[in-house]
Amino acid sequence: MSKTVDVTVPDIGDFADVPVIEILVSKGEQVAVEQSLLTLESDKATIEIPSPVAGEVVELVVEVGSTVSEGSLIARIKASEEAGETTTSGPPGQTASATDTAPENSDHAGSGEAAVTSASAGPQSAAGGGQTEETPAAPAARETGGHEFDVLVLGSGPGGYTAAFRAADLGLKVALVERYPTLGGVCLNVGCIPSKTLLHTAQIIDEAAAMSRHGVQFGDPRIDLVKLGAFKDDVVGKLTGGLARMADMRKVEVIQGNGMFAGPHEVSVEHQGKTRTVGFGQAIIAVGSQSFELPGLPWGDPRLMDSTDALKLEEIPPRLLVIGGGIIGLEMACVYAALGSKVTVVELAKQLMPGADPDLLRPLQKRISKRYENIYLETRVTQVDVADDALVARFEGKDAPASDSFDRILVAVGRVPNGNRIAAEAAGVKVTDRGFIEVDNQMRTNMPHIFAIGDVIGQPMLAHKATHEGKVAAEVCAGEKSAFEARVIPSVAYTDPEVAWVGLTETEARQAGVKYEVGKLPWVASARALGIDRPEGFTKLLFDPETKRVLGAGIVGPHAGDLISEVALAIEMGCEAADIGLTIHPHPTLSESIAMAAEAFEGTITDLYQPKKKNRKA
Ligand code: NAD
């Protein structure tokens, strides 16, 4: 006999008295399990409430404009016979209806909140009906062996929280151990997110100044450092708060404290003098990396900063020295130069950002050479002396003076993995002398039930690599046959102009003797680039001359970091030049430059004149 189920609002986080903005079903309608019944909209998020059962809607208790909170009755549904007496919940996480954007990939402030809504339609939707039974979602190959948790994730950066959430969505009981009070790791708290927030501010300052060329004059910016810092902290808070709520909704137990392995199935977590031993069936190590502290420098002096210190924005130093012309050094140089510091950059290698092709760096170098006091290549800092009113750096290099004085110094010479800080040997996990942990393509360490992901397994140390690895590890923990099989991982420096590259670089191709041909679109031929007054950029694609498949790309110019994804997809899909060139790109956009670069390779381009292009098509 079928029975009528009271459908109530499930756990929707901190939201209360949320208005119903849309009713998606009508009385008498047959609905499926997890079919959305209605939409709620708070000032922060849009939330769809799914049906916990299949059956007929016999009554809708609310209407558009009604306000509801967790537990409010919204509808009555007569469960269908097929559904049986017991209703089932769908696989947790499959019903995500709102934006399911990973926080670190989003630069709009509310994304953390929006992400919460997708979670709310996940496992909690089962509880919404009040009469459903919990059903494990995945045929998990559990190795709990009676341990407290199926999976323990050590570290809550983008890799760690993604792994924890994915594992929970697959029905596993998960603990997420984090030494700091907020989730999100370096990326959200003291890395990608705060730096990109400040880089946006820097961009607006620079663009406002550039408007004078267009006949629009703004006054000099007046910078309230406290307010700027508060905005940045607010962005971080929204995202990390969103993570905490999503962990809660997924029933992931967050354990604060410093975790160290105590055995093959145990981590001891120390927090404020107390130690808790946590047992696990499987573990995922996601402990990341930390800034490399150049030895011999006066690290006790607060004017000597690493990237975390620099993001605190304690002051705008009149003269700033940046040691290390890599991505972190150049991004922070960009921020401080826009805020008013006179910046000097010292780089050990022959070029800035040594991983990128030299031609990609040229527009950036040209722009910052005019804006920064000095850029010293092939130069090292041998010593920093502390004076009352300055830090005095001594240089060794071809163009640098013997020494110079600075108000602050930022050291950004790379990061070192944290593999040696977790007593991995207690679990039998091998760690290299440099602190890396080796894994296979399923992210398994030498101990088959322990996985590692993110910075701790090696370069490139990038959040977007870690998140993908986190999903693989979680899925393998749940018994799925996942593997990390990405062909390429894009790199982006969010400098001005942005520099982005993916796949094979020209430097790598030459070193490896790989045959390639270039299709290039200088942005001086892009209407959009001219309109935004940034014709210095370019888009180049590398193709296999035989198969015409795209092998790699480099883009320099505003939004290069957003544009590069198209080429990453093209490489993953094995696209040929014609696939890209014949895809209609909207005009006028910077994205057209990718299609045009493919056309330039094909010889079909009309927006450039290429008299000697041998393979120009008739
Ligand atoms: P990095 O390795 O990218 O750059 C460090 C730079 O410092 C190199 O160019 C190196 O040649 C130089 N260097 C090393 N020793 C030096 C010395 N003694 N004097 C002068 N220069 C020296 O490291 P990073 O910029 O610190 O970034 C660390 C990691 O974080 C990298 O893996 C990077 O990819 C990642 N990261 C990525 C992003 C992003 O994706 N936008 C942002 C920040 C950091």
Atom of ligand 1 nearest to the CA of 291: 26
Determine whether the shortest distance from the Cβ of 381 to ligand 1 is under 6 A: yes
Peptide bond into 358 cis (omega under 30): no
Answer whether residue 248 shows pLDDT above 90. yes
pLDDT: is 131 or 607 the higher one? 607
Peptide bond into 497 cis (omega under 30): yes
Answer whether residue 39 shows pLDDT above 90. no
Determine whether the shortest distance from the Cβ of 490 to ligand 1 is under 6 A: no
pLDDT at 40: 87
What spacing in Å lies between the alpha carbon of 321 and ligand 1's midpoint?
15
Residue entry with tokens 């520099």: 499
What spacing in Å lies between the alpha carbon of 306 and ligand 1's midpoint?
12
Sign of CA dihedral 607, 610, 614, 618: positive
Over range 39-62, report the average pLDDT: 85
What spacing in Å lies between the alpha carbon of 355 and ligand 1's midpoint?
10
The whole-chain average pLDDT of the chain stands at: 89
What are the two backbone dihedrals, phi and then psi, of residue 307, each rounded to the nearest 5 degrees? -65, -35
Determine whether the shortest distance from the Cβ of 297 to ligand 1 is under 6 A: no
Answer whether residue 131 shows pLDDT above 50. no
Determine whether the shortest distance from the Cβ of 325 to ligand 1 is under 6 A: yes
Over range 382-389, report the average pLDDT: 97
Name the nearest CA neighbour of 154 among 123, 185, 192: 185
Determine whether the shortest distance from the Cβ of 575 to ligand 1 is under 6 A: no
Report which DSSP code applies to 221. Answer: P
Atom of ligand 1 nearest to the CA of 354: 9
Measured distance CA(352)–CA(313) in Å, rounded: 24
Answer whether residue 382 shows pLDDT above 60. yes
Answer whether residue 28 shows pLDDT above 50. yes
Over range 289-309, report the average pLDDT: 97
Measured distance CA(214)–CA(200) in Å, rounded: 21
Span of 120-124, 336-340, 543-547 with lowest mean pLDDT: 120-124
pLDDT: is 285 or 614 the higher one? 285
What spacing in Å lies between the alpha carbon of 324 and ligand 1's midpoint?
6
pLDDT at 501: 98
What are the two backbone dihedrals, phi and then psi, of residue 568, each rounded to the nearest 5 degrees? -60, -45
pLDDT at 514: 98
> For residue range 339-354, what is the model confidence (pLDDT) as tens digits?
999 999 999 999 999 9
What spacing in Å lies between the alpha carbon of 107 and ligand 1's midpoint?
23
Measured distance CA(189)–CA(175) in Å, rounded: 20
Answer whether residue 182 shows pLDDT above 70. yes
Answer whether residue 128 shows pLDDT above 60. no
Q: Indicate which residue's Cα is closest to atom 8 of ligand 1.
A: 326
Q: Indicate which residue's Cα is closest to atom 43 of ligand 1.
A: 328
Q: Indicate which residue's Cα is closest to atom 12 of ligand 1.
A: 324
Under the banding of pLDDT at 50, 70 and 90, the label for residue 162 is very high
Determine whether the shortest distance from the Cβ of 346 to ligand 1 is under 6 A: yes
Span of 48-57, 244-253, 383-392 with lowest mean pLDDT: 48-57
Residue entry with tokens 């011999």: 296
Over range 53-82, report the average pLDDT: 90
Answer yes or no: are the C-beta atoms of 593 and 522 closer than 8 Å: no
pLDDT at 90: 33
What spacing in Å lies between the alpha carbon of 385 and ligand 1's midpoint?
23
What spacing in Å lies between the alpha carbon of 164 and ligand 1's midpoint?
28
Q: Indicate which residue's Cα is closest to atom 32 of ligand 1.
A: 461
Give residue 302's identity as a one-letter amino acid code. P
What spacing in Å lies between the alpha carbon of 554 and ligand 1's midpoint?
19
What spacing in Å lies between the alpha carbon of 110 and ligand 1's midpoint?
30
Neighbour-count burial of 318, counting CB atoms closer than 10 A to its CB (0-12 exposed, 13-18 middle, 19+ buried): exposed
Q: Indicate which residue's Cα is closest to atom 28 of ligand 1.
A: 414
> For residue range 197-209, what is the model confidence (pLDDT) as tens digits?
999 999 999 999 9
Which of 192, 328, 332, 348 has most ligand 1 atoms within 8 Å of CB, for mutation?
A: 328
**Partners of 202 in the beta sheet?**
none
- For strands 450-452 and 274-285, give the pairing: parallel
Atom of ligand 1 nearest to the CA of 307: 26
- What are the structure tokens assigned to 291, written together? 């800034």
Span of 24-28, 244-248, 369-373, 441-445 with lowest mean pLDDT: 24-28
Neighbour-count burial of 236, counting CB atoms closer than 10 A to its CB (0-12 exposed, 13-18 middle, 19+ buried): buried
Q: What percent of the chain has pLDDT over 90?
A: 81
**Partners of 153 in the beta sheet?**
176, 284
DSSP-based helix, strand, coil % in the chain, nearest 5: 30, 25, 45
Under the banding of pLDDT at 50, 70 and 90, the label for residue 398 is confident
Over range 236-248, report the average pLDDT: 97
Atom of ligand 1 nearest to the CA of 352: 9
Over range 94-110, report the average pLDDT: 32
Answer whether residue 44 shows pLDDT above 70. no
Measured distance CA(40)–CA(11) in Å, rounded: 13
Answer whether residue 101 shows pLDDT above 60. no
Query: Is residue 449 flagged as an active site residue?
Result: no
Q: Indicate which residue's Cα is closest to atom 4 of ligand 1.
A: 326
pLDDT at 141: 43
Over range 167-190, report the average pLDDT: 97
Measured distance CA(173)–CA(281) in Å, rounded: 10
Determine whether the shortest distance from the Cβ of 540 to ligand 1 is under 6 A: no
Determine whether the shortest distance from the Cβ of 462 to ligand 1 is under 6 A: yes
Which of 195, 198, 327 has most ligand 1 atoms within 8 Å of CB, for mutation?
A: 327
Under the banding of pLDDT at 50, 70 and 90, the label for residue 84 is very low
Atom of ligand 1 nearest to the CA of 328: 25
Under the banding of pLDDT at 50, 70 and 90, the label for residue 613 is low
Answer whether residue 388 shows pLDDT above 90. yes
Which of 199, 361, 413, 565 has most ligand 1 atoms within 8 Å of CB, for mutation?
A: 413
Q: Which residues contact 481 (CB under 8 A, 6 or more apart)?
A: none
Atom of ligand 1 nearest to the CA of 292: 26
What spacing in Å lies between the alpha carbon of 6 and ligand 1's midpoint?
57
Determine whether the shortest distance from the Cβ of 415 to ligand 1 is under 6 A: yes
Q: Indicate which residue's Cα is closest to atom 31 of ligand 1.
A: 461
Which of 415, 418, 489, 564 has most ligand 1 atoms within 8 Å of CB, for mutation?
A: 415
Determine whether the shortest distance from the Cβ of 321 to ligand 1 is under 6 A: no
Q: Which residues contact 550 (CB under 8 A, 6 or more apart)?
A: 503, 541, 542, 543, 567, 570, 571, 575, 576, 577, 580, 598
Measured distance CA(444)–CA(72) in Å, rounded: 45
> For residue range 416-458, what is the model confidence (pLDDT) as tens digits?
999 999 999 999 999 999 999 999 999 999 999 999 999 999 9
Answer whether residue 466 shows pLDDT above 70. yes
Atom of ligand 1 nearest to the CA of 381: 19
Cβ of 618: how many Cβ atoms within 10 Å?
Answer: 3
Determine whether the shortest distance from the Cβ of 348 to ligand 1 is under 6 A: yes
Per-residue exposure over 64-75, b if at least 16 CB sit within 10 Å of its own CB, e if not: eebebebebebb
- For strands 55-60 and 30-31, give the pairing: antiparallel
Determine whether the shortest distance from the Cβ of 328 to ligand 1 is under 6 A: yes
- What are the structure tokens assigned to 399, written together? 């163009």
pLDDT at 227: 98
Give residue 583's identity as a one-letter amino acid code. T
Determine whether the shortest distance from the Cβ of 112 to ligand 1 is under 6 A: no
Under the banding of pLDDT at 50, 70 and 90, the label for residue 557 is very high
Q: Which of 22-36, 269-283, 604-618 has the highest mean pLDDT?
A: 269-283
Our CA angle for 537, 539, 540, nearest 5°, is: 135
pLDDT: is 111 or 285 the higher one? 285
What spacing in Å lies between the alpha carbon of 415 and ligand 1's midpoint?
7
Determine whether the shortest distance from the Cβ of 329 to ligand 1 is under 6 A: yes
